[in-house]
């Protein structure tokens, strides 16, 4: 984490407390001790994907609480904005798979960002997973952060929403220095870096081509071209699928980037990826990741 180390050394020496943005001086984020330690850790990180989503409905408070009980280093979530601007935790682009929206409103394929917060609050996001979770509500992003931060660190994946609103919320809660922001949209990460230099950011991939189409499978491996683009965003972390190689991971490390892989639920695959040198495993089953680490 060359960039983070450099920033903290300069800050400690009193040389750098401000960095310049295009319009005005923007304060550089000084990381919390626990986040600093985590991003510098010399062991792989255990990252709970959408909470402990193998044991509880994804992106809900029960899933986040179980991830804390499993001692996850990071708890990942996804968020959107409601049509009236409330950020809330949810994964899919439509409401149907993980809520009762379809039966409640008798509509199929309802876009997640199309409803007001008052409407979204009515949804049950637990019953689809199991009757013991019946009645679970969608948490706002703020409620999710309140549930996760006391026991872990949130890995916030932005699915939809502007960077200003997110940075403002994190500043208001005084946790901008104690969370990680990631997105598949590398322009969003670049904008977060401009608004909050020094914050820990992750660029997710593989990306889509400029025309919006997917790369063929064989071109989706992490490589030097992707890493060149990621470096320009100001990201500190690369979040990739299993299409990584030891060479690409080494290349990322030479550039001061950490490599985390998603979504790995198989023990043998997790062990193989750890053997390749990945720095973190994002899994629906964080206990399995601890086992994979212990196995080696
Ligand atoms: O953390 C990375 C991973 O969550 C990205 O994929 O579709 O599960 O959000 P997705
Ligand atoms: Ca995600």
> Of 162, 164, 155, 160, whose CA–CA distance to 21 is shortest?
164
* Alpha carbon of 263 to ligand 1 centroid (Å): 7
List the structure tokens of 78.
């996804």
pTM more than 0.85: yes
pLDDT at 27: 84
The structure tokens listed for 178 are 């104690």
201-230 pLDDT per residue, tens: 999 999 999 999 999 999 999 999 999 999
List alpha helices for the chain, DSSP H. 2-12, 33-40, 61-69, 101-105, 117-120, 141-148, 163-172, 186-195, 224-233, 246-254, 267-276, 286-295
User: Bigger pLDDT: 80 or 210?
Assistant: 80
Instruction: Answer yes or no: is pLDDT of 6 > 70.
Output: no
The pLDDT assigned to 25 comes to 62
CA of 267 to the centre of ligand 1 (A): 19
pLDDT for residue 24 is more than 60: no
Instruction: Identify which of 204, 260, 273 to mutate to test ligand 1's pocket (most ligand atoms within 8 A of the CB).
Output: 204
DSSP string, 114-168: GS-HHHHTT---STTT-GGGTTPPPPBHHHHHHHHTTTSEEEEEESSS-HHHHHH
Res. 13: pLDDT tops 80: no
Closest atom of ligand 1 to CA, residue 47: 1
Residues 6+ apart with CB under 8 A from 151: 68
CA atoms within 13 A on the CB side of 132: 5
10 Å Cβ neighbour count for 185? 18
Mean pLDDT, residues 10-25 taken together: 40
Q: Are the C-beta atoms of 227 and 255 separated by less than 8 Å? A: yes
In sequence order, which residues have a C-beta less than 8 Å from that of residue 31 and are 6 or more positions away? 4, 8, 39, 177, 178, 198, 200
Average pLDDT over residues 107-127: 98
Strand pairing category for 280-283 and 74-81: unpaired
- Closest-approaching ligand to the CA atom of 92: 1
Give the model confidence (pLDDT) of 29-65 as tens digits. Answer: 999 999 999 999 999 999 999 999 999 999 999 999 9
């Amino acid at each position: 984490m060359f960039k983070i180390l450099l920033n903290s050394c300069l800050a400690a020496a009193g040389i750098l407390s401000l960095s310049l943005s295009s319009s005005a001086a923007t304060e550089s984020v000084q990381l919390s001790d626990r986040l600093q330690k985590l991003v510098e850790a010399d062991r792989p990180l255990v990252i709970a994907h959408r909470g402990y989503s193998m044991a509880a409905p994804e992106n809900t408070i029960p899933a986040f609480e179980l991830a804390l009980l499993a001692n996850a280093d990071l708890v990942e979530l996804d968020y959107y904005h409601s049509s009236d601007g409330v950020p809330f935790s949810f994964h899919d682009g439509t409401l149907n798979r993980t809520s009762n929206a379809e039966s409640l409103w008798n509509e199929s394929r309802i876009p997640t960002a199309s409803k007001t917060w008052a409407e979204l609050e009515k949804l049950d996001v637990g019953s689809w997973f199991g009757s013991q979770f019946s009645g679970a509500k969608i948490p706002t992003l703020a409620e999710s952060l309140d549930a996760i931060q006391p026991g872990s660190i949130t890995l916030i994946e932005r699915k939809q929403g502007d960077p200003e609103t997110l940075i403002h919320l994190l500043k208001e809660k005084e946790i901008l220095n104690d969370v990680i922001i990631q997105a598949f949209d590398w322009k969003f990460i670049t904008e977060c870096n401009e608004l909050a230099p020094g914050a820990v950011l992750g660029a997710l991939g593989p990306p889509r081509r400029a025309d919006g189409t997917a790369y063929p499978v064989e071109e989706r491996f992490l490589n030097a071209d992707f890493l060149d683009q990621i470096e320009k965003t100001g990201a500190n972390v690369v979040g990739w699928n299993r299409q990584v190689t030891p060479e690409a991971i080494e290349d990322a490390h030479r550039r001061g980037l950490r490599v985390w892989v998603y979504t790995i639920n198989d023990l043998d695959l997790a062990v193989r990826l750890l053997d390749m040198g990945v720095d973190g495993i994002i899994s629906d089953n964080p206990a399995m990741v601890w086992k994979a680490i212990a196995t080696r």
